[in-house]
């Protein structure tokens, strides 16, 4: 009897070993394999209006739950969580919190292909496993040779203005109200103390920074900013102040100009430049968005270019200083929203780029006392189509024509004249940058005429452009999540 029981037990044990040996390993479980192939990160580009934006999708599976993120590095430093997953075979679907739905499939090469749909808008994507670095150097082809576009610094929030310190350092503003020094190795310094409070509505904030002509001895810098109304609310005005930069802080902060009137709105202008001799400071101002006709009224700084001395006093030869009812700081008027100012080498004349409506971005040569027409004349139209209210066409007697205009708009912002050794064929050219078209427009000049344009296409909205002491071209990208300082230099030999 005992032998019989022992035999039965031995047979049961041997049978169990046989069953375990014949079972597939856990990693071969079809359900787990499905999860593994959909786990990880995919990189690629999504087509948006006027741009191809880097997209990173990351998916995870844990505790029988799917999760993931949807990230546009140019828009945010963190990813948006994904939800409402559906996974079946090679088919995958999920939603973003904003209501966009992705439906697609994973192909045999592990590429994630499909379409994001939101309302009636569909955007196709084709994402791969190869990592794409948003800060990687890219190479552009141009008329005069290839150009490397490298990331000098990153991690900024909507950088707006910059100027160059010694030893390769850069002073840069961020729209939310921060001023930083970027070191020669591209590392970001801590925010500088003593920066004024700024209005951040529509969008506004800390705009430009320029060094005083005597900075080497005075250490003085100039800031333009949206000064909030002391009584609170949304009203603000574009203002200028100077201060002494020392020991990581601003000292002796002194406001020298504030635009009148202080109103709610947008289109602040804010770009500054000193004259070639350092005797005058120019500031471009916008029409504040819904104050269009004030651009034609000399009793308002709205839609004007102002000229003051570095201490804020009014030059005795300003064109309207003896005009009854006119504000004495006004140099020219009829501007929509000046975003770029530059002094032409050789002539020392002031040139400006002006952000138009839908079409009609302009290059002008502002002259004292002249009227540049907004909103009475324009080459643009209302956003969405239709004539600009109050506009009578392209021309009117007594109003100046632009030297150049972009129709359709590039969303023009900053400008500068090129002078330097690295790009000898660019001497005297205008470099103007586009927010909408994400580009650098290189304009060749003959006297007062633009005779040729070359477009250098980038992937980021470009806010400002300046030429560094090294002759390289520095750009600011208008990004919320990962604002950068880009540097353009002749392409380096490979290998």
pLDDT of residue 495: 53
Checking if the pLDDT of 175 tops 70, the result is yes
Helix (H, G, I), strand (E, B) or coil at 22: helix
How far apart are alpha carbons 71 and 83 in whole angstroms?
A: 14
b/e per residue 66-86 (b: at least 16 CB within 10 A)? bebbbbbbbeeeebbebeebe
For the ranges 75-84, 240-249, 284-293, the lowest mean pLDDT is seen at: 75-84
pLDDT of residue 34: 58
Is 251 catalytic? The answer is no
The catalytic residue among 267, 301, 355, 405 is: 267
Average pLDDT over residues 270-298: 95
Rounded alpha-carbon distances, angstroms, from residue 378 to 317, 345, 357, 358, 394: 29, 29, 9, 10, 5
* Cis geometry, peptide bond prior to residue 408 (ω within 30 degrees of 0): yes
pLDDT band, very low/low/confident/very high, at 7 (cuts 50, 70, 90): very low
pLDDT band, very low/low/confident/very high, at 79 (cuts 50, 70, 90): confident
pLDDT band, very low/low/confident/very high, at 490 (cuts 50, 70, 90): very high
Rounded alpha-carbon distances, angstroms, from residue 106 to 39, 44, 85, 127, 189: 11, 14, 15, 10, 43
Average pLDDT over residues 195-217: 95
pLDDT of residue 383: 85
Average pLDDT over residues 374-389: 91
* Start-end of H helices in 155-208: none
Checking if the pLDDT of 374 tops 60, the result is yes
- The token duo for 396 is 């009117």
pLDDT of residue 53: 82
pLDDT in tens, 340-363: 999 999 999 999 999 999 999 999
What's the angle, vertex CA 158, arms to CA 244 and CA 141, rounded to 5? 110
* Start-end of H helices in 128-260: 215-218
Average pLDDT over residues 368-372: 98
Average pLDDT over residues 55-66: 88
Q: Is the pLDDT higher at 123 or at 36?
A: 123
pLDDT band, very low/low/confident/very high, at 95 (cuts 50, 70, 90): very high
Average pLDDT over residues 1-27: 36
Instruction: Determine whether 218 is exposed, middle or buried from the number of CB atoms within 10 Å of its CB (0-12, 13-18, 19+).
Output: middle
pLDDT in tens, 313-330: 999 999 999 999 999 999
For the ranges 4-8, 149-153, 299-303, 367-371, the lowest mean pLDDT is seen at: 4-8
Checking if the pLDDT of 231 tops 80, the result is no
For the ranges 161-170, 198-207, 328-337, the lowest mean pLDDT is seen at: 198-207
Residues 6+ apart with CB under 8 A from 400: 334, 364, 367, 370, 371, 372, 373
pLDDT of residue 97: 86
pLDDT of residue 50: 65
pLDDT of residue 16: 34
350 strand-pairing partners: 343
Helix (H, G, I), strand (E, B) or coil at 164: strand
pLDDT band, very low/low/confident/very high, at 32 (cuts 50, 70, 90): very low
For the ranges 44-53, 56-65, 347-356, 374-383, the lowest mean pLDDT is seen at: 44-53
- Work out the percent of the chain whose per-residue pLDDT is above 90: 75
Q: Is the pLDDT higher at 185 or at 78?
A: 185
- Work out the percent of the chain whose per-residue pLDDT is above 70: 92
């Amino acid at each position: 009897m005992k032998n019989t029981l022992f035999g039965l037990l031995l047979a049961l044990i041997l049978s169990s070993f046989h069953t375990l040996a014949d079972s597939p390993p856990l990693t071969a479980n079809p359900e787990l394999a499905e999860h593994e192939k959909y786990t990880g990160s995919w990189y690629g580009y999504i087509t948006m209006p006027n741009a191809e934006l880097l997209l990173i999708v990351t998916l995870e599976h844990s505790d029988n739950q799917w999760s993931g993120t949807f990230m546009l590095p140019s828009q945010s430093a963190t990813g948006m969580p994904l939800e409402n997953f559906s996974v079946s075979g090679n088919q995958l679907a999920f939603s973003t919190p904003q209501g966009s739905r992705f439906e697609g499939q994973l192909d045999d090469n592990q590429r994630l292909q499909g379409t994001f749909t939101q309302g009636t808008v569909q955007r196709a994507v084709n994402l791969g496993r190869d990592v794409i670095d948003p800060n990687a150097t890219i190479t552009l082809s141009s008329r005069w040779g290839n150009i490397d576009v490298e990331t000098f610094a990153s991690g900024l929030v909507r950088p707006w203005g910059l100027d160059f310190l010694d030893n390769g350092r850069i002073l840069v503003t961020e729209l939310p109200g921060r001023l930083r020094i970027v070191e020669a190795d591209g590392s970001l310094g801590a925010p500088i103390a003593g920066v004024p409070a700024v209005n951040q509505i529509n969008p506004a904030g800390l705009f430009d920074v320029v060094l005083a002509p005597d900075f080497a001895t005075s250490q003085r810098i100039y800031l333009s900013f949206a000064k909030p109304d002391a009584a609170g609310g949304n009203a603000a005005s574009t203002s200028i102040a100077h201060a002494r930069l020392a020991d990581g802080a601003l000292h002796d902060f002194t406001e020298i100009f504030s635009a009148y009137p202080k109103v709610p709105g947008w289109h602040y202008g804010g770009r500054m430049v000193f004259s070639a001799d350092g005797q005058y400071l120019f500031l471009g101002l916008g029409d504040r968005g819904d104050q269009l006709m004030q651009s034609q009224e000399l009793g308002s700084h709205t839609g004007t270019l102002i000229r003051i001395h570095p201490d804020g006093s009014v030059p005795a030869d300003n064109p309207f200083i003896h005009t009854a009812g006119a504000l004495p700081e006004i140099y020219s008027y009829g501007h929509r929203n000046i975003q770029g100012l530059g002094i032409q080498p050789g002539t020392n004349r002031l040139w400006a780029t002006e952000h138009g409506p839908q079409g009609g971005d302009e290059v002008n040569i502002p002259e004292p006392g002249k009227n540049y027409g907004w909103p009475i004349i324009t080459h643009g139209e209302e956003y969405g189509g239709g004539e600009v209210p109050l506009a009578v066409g392209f021309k009117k007697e007594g109003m100046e024509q632009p030297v150049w205009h972009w129709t359709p708009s590039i969303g023009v912002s900053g400008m500068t004249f090129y002078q330097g050794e690295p790009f000898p064929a660019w001497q005297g050219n205008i470099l103007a940058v586009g927010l909408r078209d994400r580009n650098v427009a290189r304009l060749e000049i003959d006297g007062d005429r633009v005779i040729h344009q070359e477009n250098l296409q980038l992937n980021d909205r470009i806010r400002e452009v300046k030429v560094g002491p090294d002759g390289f071209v520095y750009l600011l990208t208008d990004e919320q999540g990962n604002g950068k300082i880009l540097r353009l230099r002749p392409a380096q030999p490979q290998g």
